Structures are given as C-alpha cells and as structure tokens.
Amino acid sequence: MVGKLKFQKRMALLLSLVIFGILWQYAFSLLKPLDTSGQAPNVLIQVAPQSHTGEIAEKLKEQKIIRSATAFRLYARYHKLDSQIKAGLYMLNPAMSTEEILTILVHGKTATKTFTIPEGYTLKQITNSLADKGLIREELFSDLLVTGKYDYPFLKGLPTGEKRLEGYLFPETYNISLDSTEKDIINVMLAGMDRQIKELKLEERARALNLTLHQVMTIASMIEREASKDEDRTLISSVIHNRLRKDMLLQIDATVEYALGGHREKIYYKDLEVDSPYNTYKYKGLPVGPIAAPGKESLVAAVTPAQTEYLYYLAKPDGYHVFAKTYAEHMQNKAKYIK
C-alpha cells in the first residue's frame, strides 16, 4: 500500500512537471515574434506620455505587433520595465520579439527621418528642400525663421528680418524624430552650428582677428560659395582678409548672385550695379550678413587665412582658382584662362 502511494505521488509530480513544462513553453511562445516571414511591413506606434503598460500592450496586440497583450504585460512587470517605457513614435515590426520591442520602448529608440542640407545652401534653398521632402509646412517654417525664439548666444544682436538666420543653420545630415515640428527642425540645425562654434572656438579666433563672430560667419559663407576645392578655401580667405585690411572693395561674385536672388551662370556688368548691401562690387567692407550656410572647412578657413599677399583670384575651368598679387598679374590670368 505504501509503495502504491509513493508511486502515485511520483506520477502526480511527474504529471505536474509535464503540465508546467507545457505551460512554460506555451507562455514562452507568446513572447516570440508574431510574424517570421520577414515580409510584414513596419507599423508606426505612438506611445502617449504616462501610458500604462496594459494600454501599450493592448495597442500592440490590436496593431498585430505581438501575440499576447497579457504575456507582454507580465514580461515587462517581471523584468521591472513597466515603468520605464518612454513616450514617442516608434517604428515596430511583428518580426520583433517581446524582448526586442521592450528594449526599443525602454531606450526611447523612436522612429526617425533623415534629411541632408548641403554646404552653401541659402535659407530659401533649405526651405525649398525640406518642403519638397514633405518635412515642413513651408509658410510656417518661413515664418519661424523670422519670428521664432531660439536660445543660442550667437544669435543675440543679429539683425532682424527674414534673413536673420541666414548662414546659421549648419549644413549636414540630421536624424530627427518623426513627430518633429518645424521649430524642432530649425533648432536641431542651430544646435549643429552651436556645436561647430564651440568646437572650433570661433568666437575666440574671431576676437584674435579683431572681428565679430557675425563677420566671421559672413566671411565663411562667401568662401563656401566661391570655393569648389578645399585647397582653395584658405587662399580665398586670405584675399578677403587682405582686401579688408587695404579698404578695397571685396568684389565677390557670390554676393552679387545673392543680391540678385539666386544663382547665375554668368555675372554681367549690369548685374554689378544692383543696389544692395550684399553687393561687394558697390559697397566696401563685408555684406550685412552671411549669404549661405558655411560648412566646417569654410568656417575654419575664415579664421585661418593663408599668409599671402594675394588680392585677386580667378576660377579656372578645372574648378580650382589661380591667385594674383597685382591687377596686372590678374589680367594675365584672365587672358590665359578665360576664352
């Protein structure tokens, strides 16, 4: 009789273990990816601020991202992650496991979009580019360029008006969240320029040259628009600095293009008469502000001009420039390279 009872207990224990194993496997299977084909499309999920794990789990289940809302909730609670999920827009896929999804939600790896602003773009070109990509509402973006308030020291004291941020939106590739607003996009580009100003110590270098940061930004923008080869940047910078010291007209074609409102394949003598504070053929000194967004190389060149006596330069057919100390030498270069 005793042996029979022991046998029954062993069988009951074994049965319990089998049932537990089956339930464990089932529970574990609920945490696996819902789709393993690799063909399922991504789904954009928004997690609102202060959302409960249960609400998030139900939304994921409704959108067919996970197998079980209950399993998701219990897994999060067991690993003490239910209070760590961050609000935001997330791009998720049913090929992800519960663990992978929670890792994304807890670390705040929100869905992003990418855009690139090339060096030398004007505010108008930046606005058109972002609008063409569907990233902004053009009218609102343009208005925020003029009226928006941005907390960066380098913006204090800048001239007001539609051109106040010209040259200050740093050109590079940005990753931003999908719910970024027009003001967010402006801010991220201003932050890019703020980083360059600090890393390159532009304010200190500007003071060493007896220039303001705004003047350095203006010089950098002219270099950006004039130079197509990196090797020429510090040489063009030297011409600008040399002419400023000698109180000569800068005569930068790119400033005339800017005054005329856009790129010109050729600058004619009549164009040089345009009455604009940006026309360096008509008015001495620097323009009232930058004419484009300078990249890092041009920012550096603006504060580290080559030590030369050059006062003239000319673009050659290969994209490089030839430089001259005197007007006579410059005219010889013109006869040689301009046919």
Could you read off the pLDDT of 247-274 as tens digits, one per residue?
999 999 999 999 998 777 677 678 788 8
Tell me the average pLDDT across 318-322.
93
Query: Residue 1 pLDDT > 60, yes or no?
Result: no
Percent of the chain with pLDDT over 70: 91
Query: Residue 41 pLDDT > 80, yes or no?
Result: yes
How many other CB atoms sit within 10 Å of the CB of residue 124?
A: 14
What is the rounded average pLDDT for all residues in the chain?
89
Beta-ladder partners of 173: 116
Tell me the average pLDDT across 147-151.
92
Could you read off the pLDDT of 47-93 as tens digits, one per residue?
888 889 999 999 999 999 988 888 889 889 988 888 899 988 888 89
Per-domain residue ranges of the chain:
41-110, 113-198, 204-337
Q: Where are the alpha helices (DSSP H) in the chain?
A: 2-29, 53-62, 69-78, 98-107, 123-132, 138-147, 182-199, 202-208, 213-226, 233-245, 253-260, 296-303, 327-337
pLDDT-based confidence at 33, cuts 50/70/90? confident
Could you read off the pLDDT of 274-311 as tens digits, one per residue?
889 999 999 999 999 999 999 999 999 999 999 999 99
Query: Residue 334 pLDDT > 80, yes or no?
Result: yes
Q: Which CATH class is domain 41-110?
A: alpha beta
The angle formed by the CA atoms of residues 228, 313 and 225, to the nearest 5 degrees, is: 35
pLDDT-based confidence at 121, cuts 50/70/90? very high
Name residues whose C-beta falls within 8 Å of residue 230's C-beta, 6 or more positions apart in sequence. Answer: 297
Residue 47 phi, psi (nearest 5): -105, 115
Q: How many alpha carbons lie under 13 Å from residue 93 in its C-beta half-sphere?
A: 11
Could you read off the pLDDT of 207-243 as tens digits, one per residue?
999 999 999 999 999 999 999 999 999 999 999 999 9
2 versus 288: the higher-pLDDT residue is 288
CA dihedral 271, 276, 282, 285 (to 10 degrees): -140
Could you read off the pLDDT of 166-184 as tens digits, one per residue?
999 999 999 998 888 999 9
Tell me the average pLDDT across 328-338.
92
The dihedral region occupied by 293, where left means phi > 0, alpha psi between -120 and 50, and beta the remainder, is beta
User: Which token pair is 304?
Assistant: 């580290």
